[in-house]
Amino acid sequence: MITQLILVRHGQTKWSATGKHTSVTDIDLDSVGIKQAKNLAEVLRELSPSAVFSSPLQRATQTCELCGFKKYEILNELTEWNYGKYEGLTSDEIKKIDPNWSLFVHGTPGGEKPEDVYLRAQQLIRGLLSLDGTVICFSHGHISRVIASCWINQPVILAKHLFFEAAHFGILSYEHNWPCISAWNITHFQ
């Protein structure tokens, strides 16, 4: 049985540095993101994961490889929330269009709805539960927040409260057989 699931958000890109919503636009890491990924490698190299997975988008695969994981499998379920018409816009720009907008409540026009992303997270977790030991997934900010919410059997709206910075990671595990979030938005083990 999986003992811990480590979710790693990719390093910084030019778009993430400016707060632009980036889902299907396939942007690589910028120079800061490359440095961040190399720093994460020092932290993650001590792990001996039973499996490593990545989103198919290059900012995630590049982070995975810079962290020293050359053997990994692509999982489409790890792809970032599809922002539809809000792709490339900042939250401030979106609020000018819709002042009441909240990603985790409304989703995006032409993109994914919260319930669809939650179902994708459930599917991912079901697939991973058959694995043993530590599993590492390189992914993105919003989908990782939804995966964490789903892991602890909470609704998608909880993800609104789980801030997740570039090149940070979270640890999902168990306490007394109950799913828990052991650590979140960290850059090193304590």
The residues that are catalytic are 10, 80
Q: What are phi and psi of 168, to 5 degrees?
A: -120, 170
SS (H, E, C) 84-107: HHHCCCCHHHHHHHCCCCCHHHHC
**How many CA atoms lie less than 13 Å away from 113 in the CB half-sphere?**
3
Q: Where are the alpha helices (DSSP H) in 71-180?
A: 91-97, 103-106, 114-128, 141-151
For strand 73-74 and strand 133-139, is the pairing parallel, antiparallel, or unpaired? unpaired
Nearest to 78 by CA among 178, 32, 9: 9
Nearest to 75 by CA among 141, 142, 1, 140: 140
**Tokens 């994981």 — which residue?**
69
